[in-house]
A and B are shown apart, each in its own frame.
Chain A
Amino acid sequence: MARAGVSIRSLALGALVAVGAVVAVDAVVAIGAFGVAHAAAVPDAALDALRPDAPRQNESATPPAWATLRSPPMAAQFRRFLTEFAIAAAPREFEFPRDHGPHPDFRQEWWYLTGNLTATDGERFGFELTIFRVALAPAVAMPPAVATPPATATDAASQRVGATATGAVSPAERGAATPAASPWRTRQVYVGHFAVTDVAKHTFRFAQKYERDALGLAGAVADPFRVWLDDWQIGGSPHWTVHAQQKDYELQLDVQSLAAPILNGDRGLSVKASDPGAASYYYSIPRVSVRGQLIRDRVPIDVSGVAWLDREWGSGSLGANESGWDWFALQLDDGSALMFYALRDKDGARDLHSAGTWVDRDGQTRSLSSKEVEITVGDHWDSPRGGRYPSRWHVRVPALALEADVRPVLANQELGTSPRYWEGAVDVTASRSGVSVTGRGYVELVGYAH
């Protein structure tokens, strides 16, 4: 803190950041270690939010959603509260652009864009722009107003337990019912992470923003696709653009072309553990060609490159025994790409639910099981904030005759958000069936910060 009055200021800050931090914890690690435990910790008091007086604004003719919840005893209500979110339990039919949009019935969701950029003079950059959506409570806690249903409202494939209400992430969810309800009321919160890796300056810079899904401050729509948080955004029309700004770095990119989305796991159902609900729907766009400007300290630099978009949503988390993961998204210069996530158990061993997808240059995909991918760590990096991360890898996929050496372009690409994780640009030197090929990519390391 810049000022001397640390105690008071930090408390003030603490008071306010904590709420955001909890949201962030949910967002980033709901998929991670605390997920299930966290959800189970939702206290009885949360049930009070379901009380009839809470959603009194709904005076429409149809019985309000909570009405159906009034009869069961408290314990049942409590379980119901937890299971009110939709769960990724079975493969579903993906449809675009519908599924680019939000899936508010699920607890969390993200749009994860990472990319490597080259300036006209050859200078090298990496960027990450991620927008998370987190539902603080299932839709039933705040009954939706009667309004246009979002594209996802009739999501037949997702199995919902005790579903009584459809969630809506759009402004339709709020307001409307009575004039007294504040438009700031929402159960959806968006979190944004924006990081820039500036190789020449040996600088890694990140920023984190929060916003509630209210007043159009943050949100997502399917068609034309757009997800935004204040002035940070991915998508838009007539073509997608990418915009984000933090201290000293502003990114403004036009999306030139998009590869076809690929479905990871079992037709897009990515199972993270054997625990029920520990799964998500997961697709990627392995190649997003971008061109635009990176404005560094007020000086615009023309850049172009290739990014990767990961899309995932679900309500569960990792298995109780899992502690984190290493995620690789490698784009080889011959047009092929490899995505693999290695889940780690608490004892440090690779979890068998680890999996990946191989995309060949024609866009054909092949699922990779844990057994098919060997990864050896070549080096480590100790974070000044605490924790030791692997820092160099050798990846072998015998079934594809693929050997790849993966090196971070900068050792420190850790985001000091809460929680902390490492997400960084990497260089790849590989050989495919004996033919050498170079590439670039992004690696994400979660669960190492202690």
Chain B
Amino acid sequence: MQTLWASSIRHLLRHPAQLALALVGLSVGVATIVAVDIATASSRHAFELSMDAVNGAATHQIVGGPEGVDEQLYVKLQTLHIPAIADPPAFAPVVEGYVTVGSRALQLVGLDPLATADINARTEAVPGAAGEAQTLAASLKVPEADVRLWFIRRGAVVMSARTAADLGLSPGQSFDVGVGGRTLTAVLIATLNDEGGGYDALLLTDIAQAQEWMDVPGRLSRIDVRVPDGPDSARILAAVRASLPPGVELQETESRSRENLDMTAAFTTNLKAMSLLALLVSTLLIYGAISFAVVQRRRSIGILRALGATPGQVLAIVLSEAFVLGVVGAATGVLLGLAIGRELVHLVSRTINDLYFVVAVNSTTLPAMTVVKAVLAGIGTAMVAALLPAFEAVSSTPQLGMRRSVLEKRAVDLSRKLVIVSASLALAAGAVVFSSTRSLFAGFIALFMLLLSVAALTPAVLRSLARMAAFALRGSPVARLAFGDIAASLSRTGVAVAALGMAIAAMIGVSIMVGSFRESLHDWLQRTMRADVYLTSPGAGGGRPERRLEPDLVPSLLGVKGIAHYSVSRRVVVETSKGPIPLEAAQLSDPSYATYVLTEGDPASTWSSFKHGGIVISESMAWRLQLKVGGRLRVSTSSGPRDFPVAGVYREYGNDRGDMLMDLRTYRDLWHDDALTSMGFYLDPGVPSATVISELESVSRGRQALLIRSNADIRELSMRIFDRTFVITRVLNWLAAGVAAVGLISSLLAWELERSRELAIVRSLGLTAGGTAVLIEMQTAFMGLAAMIAAVPAGLLTALVLTDVINRRAFGWRIDLHLNAAQFTNALVLSLTAALIAGLYPAWRAARAPIAVEIREE
């Protein structure tokens, strides 16, 4: 046994480059998993902390329609007497909104600290309030007396010390706050020393201040409720519910935060799938590395077996090697992942900020589970990869084990069998797609099956291509040698090319998907953004609701010269039986109807139903809520709950939560809300947009800062956000390709090392050093090409699965497939570059090695 160990260690030490490459591959694979986990967990953690900070000890929330809740309801609840209960509930009013400070969006939270204190610590049962007050006095770096400024100082705000530092503010300083297009003056009266980071995206102010800034006199965004646990809670809830007017609901805090978090679920699933892809590629890599290690020692293993080593001993050695490799690879992978994760966090949180909610990620979280998962994945991958070569080494009889030809024959047999495996995987992938209709998970399973199917097919493709090439170029001995060699050494070349093929297929698939999505979005923007000029009162960006236009400004805006006709709309978020949904209540001008691409429902009947109280919903909403034309959706209106018929489904890429469109008259009747948030202007022929824009700007100047943009500007801005969103996808894609390239290098190196003798013989027969290098580069380039050829059809299939299955199931979007040459040439360039780079070192080595030494080794 000792001899076996010694042989194993000596072998590994003698091939450090190969060992290092296998480790790099494994590390990068593990690192990708860790990095993605860190990025998503950190964003999620930041969001949860923020929700915690906002919600405090509230168990429930009372929420209303777009205009929030009447503050008189709070007064009523504060004096609500529920007979014969042991512990009364506590209520706290909240006015929320989004503001900007400099370029940063913050969530404005208007509180009544007196009530919030009450909700958190009304009775002795929650001790320590006084102590915490002192903690605060210490953590608010101000004398206690300053705290009264919260009430009496106009513009008084509090933010976390970190946010203040980021913005360059210190207590006592005044600064500008952008609220719905107006610039107001705030004073930082204190900062919070909050270690956790839950306050980093918040700007706290008094409820009076928030009402004035958000211009919502008499309204609250919500009322936080703390219902004590215990036998009375059901009665308390019933009593509270009974006091609510129509259109106002009591909901559990937890479920509301979860709803918010669910918004990002599809997004994070996509990220995780990408990180799995990297690991999958690295599995093949490790398989390659270990099987080479085994294969190279076939002779010594054969001798050892002949000397009496049992199959179990050999198996133990090979698996132990894999285990050690796995441990080391996983450990370095976790460290590497930490480093990559820190960078990835910024990309992920920026996307979340663009698309979902304001989150400030200032600390990275490394979940313990991630480390466990990564270490297990690393070790498991290495073991699984080693299992096949280990069994192979063991199962051959001692004498046969020494012979290469046996192995190659087996590899050829295996590649034939793998074609069948590949076909079955592809069929199974199809079956999974068609048998599951909504499951995103099943979609990903199918995707991975498809990629594995590519991997399984590649060796056979490589072999046939190589044989065909050798036959076609039979006139040139060097070419024949080069390609014949590839076909004959399938056990070496096959796996590396399979890994590369899989990475390229994924890359083609992803780039087709992103490209198609981009095209679809572009087309959609072209069609939708028909009005020449758009005007809106800015919210904080993303899917967050805009503020209303100043009512007395509206007629002056509409009166600007050069406007032929216009559409106006009110954007709000309404509560439905299936959670909050953005609603656009629009009064459409005639050409505006055509800007909606209906994917369900015919235009005539859809728009006629729309004018009579029907809603038109976006594709993603239809998908998510499983609604069809003719279905109904219950929405809480200010006049109580109403069922709205679905008149049509339209294409909408603006919001993956879904959107619904309603006639402005219907909305006004039911919500008693006359406000408007945006306008679209169709100009008289020949009137330039710029003229109207500057006219609109001068009308609104000094009254309300509005976002006024030409349609071209909006399209450009949308595309920019889109590109930003997909930066992460591209980054992960390149990581996977990087892993594959490393794999190819490591396989080639092993292969070239192994046949150094053959090469030396060829050289002794007259092939020059340069010729040898060319030979090797030809071979590697050919393998890159073969990987590419195997990957193209698979990449197309992958793209189909990504657009039609994954994207549809994740977001409900339907995307038209758009192909362009660049998607393929990029992949070709990648695979050739990777292959050529991989060949450089072996070529250099082979050309340089003294022939005599190589031959004498025999």
> Hey, which bits of chain A sit against chain B, CB under 8 A?
1-2, 5, 7-23, 25-26, 38, 41-43, 45-46, 48-49, 51, 53-54, 136-137, 141-142, 179-187, 189, 205-212, 214-217, 230-231, 245-248, 295, 297-298, 300, 416-420
Contact = CB atoms under 8 A, between A and B. Distances in A.
A246 B124 CA distance: 10
B217 A180 contact: yes
B152 A11 contact: no
Q: Which of B74, B79, B158 has the most CB of A within 10 A?
A: B79
21 contacts: A8-B49, A8-B194, A11-B135, A11-B136, A11-B139, A15-B136, A16-B117, A19-B114, A19-B151, A21-B137, A23-B114, A43-B145, A45-B189, A180-B212, A187-B152, A205-B124, A207-B124, A210-B117, A230-B78, A295-B84, A416-B127
Interface string B146-172: 111111111000100000000000001
A448 B49 CA distance: 39
A54 B113 CA distance: 21
Contacts of B118: 20, 209-210
Contact of B130 (A189, A247, A298, A416): A416
B578 to A, nearest CB: 29
B86 A247 contact: yes
Interface string B61-101: 00000000001101100111100111110000000000000
Interface string B197-229: 011000010111101100101100000000010
A7 B78 contact: no
Contacts of B121: 13, 17
Contacts of B49: 8
Given A43-B146, A230-B79, A246-B122, A186 B117 contact: no
B784 to A, nearest CB: 52
B123 interface: yes
Contacts of A51: 154
B117 A19 contact: yes
Contacts of A13: 56-57, 117, 120-121, 129, 132
B151 A187 contact: yes
Contact of A49 (B154, B208, B217): B154
B196 A14 contact: no
A181 B209 CA distance: 9
Nearest to B216: A182
A183 B74 CA distance: 13
Contacts of B198: 8, 11-12
A26 to B, nearest CB: 8
Given A21-B130, A216-B75, A16 B154 contact: no
Contact of A231 (B78, B150, B187, B211): B78
B207 A136 contact: no
Contacts of A46: 148-149, 152-153
A38 B145 CA distance: 7
Contacts of A10: 128, 132, 135
Please list the 3 inter-chain residue pairs (A to B) with the smallest Cβ-Cβ separation, ordered nearest first.
Answer: A21-B133, A14-B136, A210-B114
A165 to B, nearest CB: 14
Interface of B: 49, 52-53, 56-57, 71-72, 74-75, 78-81, 84-88, 111-118, 120-130, 132-137, 139-140, 143-154, 158, 172, 185, 187, 189, 192, 194-196, 198-199, 204, 206-209, 211-212, 215, 217-218, 228
A51 B187 CA distance: 13
B120 A12 contact: yes
Contact of B135 (A14, A179, A184, A186): A14
B520 to A, nearest CB: 42
Given A11-B194, A14-B135, A41 B143 contact: yes
Contacts of A21: 117, 129-130, 133-134, 137
A19 to B, nearest CB: 4
Contacts of B204: 15
B148 A22 contact: yes
Given A13-B132, A182-B209, A18 B140 contact: yes
Contacts of A45: 146, 149, 153, 172, 187, 189
A217 B78 contact: yes
Contact of A298 (B78, B86, B120, B153): B86
A18 B78 contact: no
Contacts of B56: 9, 12-13, 16
Contacts of A11: 53, 132, 135-136, 139, 192, 194, 196, 198-199
Given A14-B132, A41-B143, A182 B217 contact: yes
Contact of B114 (A7, A15, A212, A295): A212
A181 B154 CA distance: 11
B852 to A, nearest CB: 72
A340 to B, nearest CB: 29
Contact of B111 (A5, A16, A22): A16
A23 B148 CA distance: 8
A43 B143 contact: yes
Q: Which of B130, B139, B154, B195 has the most CB of A within 10 A?
A: B130
A8 B52 contact: yes
B69 to A, nearest CB: 13
Contact of A20 (B113, B127, B134): B113
Contacts of A141: 152
Nearest to B142: A43
A183 B218 contact: yes
A136 B72 CA distance: 24
Contacts of A185: 208
A182 B212 contact: yes
Contact of A8 (B149, B154, B196, B206): B196
A20 to B, nearest CB: 4
A416 B140 CA distance: 23
